[in-house]
Amino acid sequence: DVKVTQSSRYLVKRTGEKVFLECVQDMDHENMFWYRQDPGLGLRLIYFSYDVKMKEKGDIPEGYSVSREKKERFSLILESASTNQTSMYLCASSPQGAYTEAFFGQGTRLTVV
């Protein structure tokens, strides 16, 4: 069974803090993704990575950065958290290929106060 694990289910951080969200997958997938999910807006792609040390911007990268130093781990960094970054953050991974599905972690609900 594919397992994508996010380090925290719930996080509360203060405005201006640097926040790290960690994601680990155990299926040797090449692709990893960070999405945020907000009511009425659905899932929006923040960043994705298709290989170690490779990253590409998604639809809403502003205010975020990512790191992929090892194949199994993909980190999302909020350089200076703001209240509009309060959201559900979902990590996903998928193997290479046009017809492959993505597998999601359980999500991290981040509240910035």
Based on CB atoms, which residue is closest to other proteins, 48 or 74?
48
Minimum gap (Å) between residue 15 Cβ and other proteins: 25
Distance CA 2, CA 74 (A): 16
Minimum gap (Å) between residue 91 Cβ and other proteins: 9
Choose which of 25, 31, 75, 87 interacts with other proteins (CB under 8 A): 31
92 DSSP assignment: E
Under the criterion CB under 8 A, does residue 8 sit at the interface with other proteins? no
68-107: which residues touch other proteins (CB under 8 A)? Answer: 90, 94, 96, 98-99, 101-107
Distance CA 26, CA 31 (A): 12
Minimum gap (Å) between residue 3 Cβ and other proteins: 12
Based on CB atoms, which residue is closest to other proteins, 54 or 113?
54
What is the C-alpha end-to-end distance of the chain, expressed in Å? 37
Pairing of strands 108-112, 10-13: parallel
Phi-psi region of 97 (alpha: psi -120 to 50; beta: other; left: phi over 0): left
Residue showing tokens 């899932």: 43
Which residues are near other proteins by CB under 8 A?
31, 33, 35, 40-43, 45, 48, 50, 58, 90, 94, 96, 98-99, 101-107
